[in-house]
């Protein structure tokens, strides 16, 4: 593990650089193929509406994959992530247009733990709604 | 109908090995738009101390969720999968997944709860490499929503 951030550099409350991730229908088709999750709620509007959703929604695991990039881009080595967990609170609704949706992710240090690890608390929103809850990662710093 | 509590603690046989390929990792990293070179460039990964390219943290879900199918589709458990949503997801890593790994998953039902007619099932997937060393544990919470009246 070769984190580029040192434990001494951070305090509780230190903010990580926030990022915004775009997601369109094309993104979801590509993610379905790469992940093997072909649930039609992620690409078939008719099906999504039939099961009571407002429109096609992003894979929860796609949102989870995007959110941790705020941590891995900051720390440099993705192998520094020791734990990562989220609750899926609201779906990311992806309209069938050129813009799609965006996922906004911010993060800050929630606690300094043992062995040079820190807990990072993440916030992910889309269209003003919190889409992940209890979103936390434990990361080993240099 | 509430799920049978006696299934808590039940483990299912380990899956056949899944061989992690460099190009599958690249495909996944591209799908999430993540250009970290540790996912695609073996030299960059080695510079960080990894034996080969590593996978993004959530990559392993594809493997553990497929393994969880043994639980989800267990006719004795009787989960109504058409009503299931993914509630929570957690990973605890001993090391990152990397290209060349041959991974097996052992799924265990960690807990079963019933809340307001919803069945809440925690499935733990323990992922080990070819030498039997622990790589990552994935805990997937599935919520089977209560059947609607009438």
What DSSP letter does each residue of B1-32 carry, written as one string?
-PPPGGGTT-B-PPPPPEEP-HHHHHHHHHHT
- Rounded Cα distance between B91 and B87, Å, is 14
CB-CB under 8 Å, A68 with B56: yes
Low-confidence ranges of chain B (pLDDT < 70): 1, 148-150
The residue whose two tokens read 């070179």 is B37
Q: Which residue has the tokens 């990552």?
A: B136
Could you report the per-residue pLDDT of B50-79, keeping only the tens digit for each?
Answer: 999 999 999 999 999 999 999 999 999 999
Is B49 domain-assigned?
no
CB A2 within 8 Å of CB A72 = no
| CATH number, domain A7-23+59-140, options 3.40.50.620, 3.10.129.10, 3.40.50.2000, 2.30.110.10 | 3.10.129.10
Tokens describing residue B26: 């690249």
- Taking an 8 Å cut-off on Cβ atoms, the answer to whether A77 and B38 are in contact is yes
**Upper half-sphere CA count for residue B44 (Cβ side, 13 Å):** 13
pLDDT of residue B150: 40
pLDDT of A56 = 97
Q: Which domain holds residue B16?
A: 7-20+56-144
Q: What whole-number distance in Å separates Cα of residue B82 and Cα of residue A122? A: 30
Domain count, chain B: 1
- The list of chain A residues with pLDDT below 70 reads 1
Cβ of B66 under 8 Å from any chain A Cβ?
yes
List the beta bridge partners of residue A118. Answer: A112, A139
CB-CB neighbors (< 8 A) of A36 in chain B = 62, 66
Do the beta carbons of residue B37 and residue A44 sit within 8 Å? no
How many other CB atoms sit within 10 Å of the CB of residue B98?
21
**ipTM reported for the complex, 2 dp:** 0.96
Secondary structure percentages of chain A, helix, strand, coil, to 5: 30, 35, 35
Q: Does residue B64 form part of some domain? A: yes
Residue spans of the domains in chain A: they are 7-23+59-140
The answer, for B97 touching chain A at a CB cutoff of 8 Å, is: no
Beta bridge partners of B85: B143
B31 domain residue, yes or no: no
Of B32, B93, B139, the CB nearest to A65: B32
Residues in A whose CB is inside 8 Å of some CB of B read 1-2, 21, 27, 30-31, 33-37, 60-62, 64-66, 68-69, 72-73, 76-79, 81-88, 134
Contacts of A87 in chain B (CB under 8 A): 87-88
In degrees, rounded to 5, the angle at the alpha carbon of residue A89 between the alpha carbons of residues A20 and A58 is 55
Alpha-carbon A127 to chain mean position: 15
- Contact residues, B window 111-140, toward A, CB-based 8 Å cutoff: 139
pLDDT at B44: 98
pLDDT of residue A2: 74
Q: Please answer yes or no on whether A64 and B89 come within 8 Å at the CB atom.
A: yes
Domain contains B119: yes
Rounded alpha-carbon distances, angstroms, from residue A57 to A23, A44, A54, A101: 10, 9, 8, 10
Query: For position A1, what pLDDT does the model report?
Result: 60
| Contact present, A11 and A26 (Cβ < 8 Å) | no
Least Cα separation, residue B74 to chain A (angstroms): 20
Whether A72 and B31 lie within 8 Å, measured CB to CB: no
């Amino acid at each position: 593990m070769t984190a580029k951030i040192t434990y001494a550099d951070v305090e509780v409350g230190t903010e990580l650089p926030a990022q915004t991730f775009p997601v369109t229908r094309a993104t979801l088709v590509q993610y379905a193929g790469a992940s093997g999750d072909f649930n039609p709620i992620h690409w078939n509007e008719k099906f999504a509406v039939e099961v009571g959703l407002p429109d096609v929604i992003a894979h929860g695991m796609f949102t989870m994959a995007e959110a941790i990039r705020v941590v891995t881009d900051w720390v440099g080595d993705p192998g520094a992530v020791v734990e990562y967990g989220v609750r899926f609170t609201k779906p990311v609704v992806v309209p069938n247009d050129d813009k799609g949706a965006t996922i906004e992710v911010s993060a800050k240090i929630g606690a300094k733990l043992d062995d040079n690890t820190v807990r990072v608390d993440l916030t992910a929103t889309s269209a003003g709604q919190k889409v992940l809850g209890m979103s936390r990662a434990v990361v080993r710093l240099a | 109908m509430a799920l049978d509590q006696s299934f808590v603690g039940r483990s299912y046989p380990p899956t056949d090995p899944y061989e992690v390929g460099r190009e599958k990792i690249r495909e996944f990293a591209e799908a999430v738009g993540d250009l970290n070179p540790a996912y695609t460039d073996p030299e960059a990964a080695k510079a960080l101390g990894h034996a080969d390219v590593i996978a993004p943290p959530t990559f392993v879900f594809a493997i553990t969720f497929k393994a969880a199918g043994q639980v989800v589709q267990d006719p004795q458990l009787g989960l109504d999968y058409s009503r299931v949503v993914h509630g929570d997801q957690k990973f605890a890593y001993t090391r990152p997944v990397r290209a060349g790994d041959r991974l097996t998953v052992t799924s265990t039902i960690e807990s079963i709860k019933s809340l307001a007619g919803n069945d809440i099932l925690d499935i733990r997937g323990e992922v080990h490499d070819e030498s039997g060393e622990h790589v990552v544990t994935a805990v997937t919470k599935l919520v089977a929503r209560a059947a609607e009246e009438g």
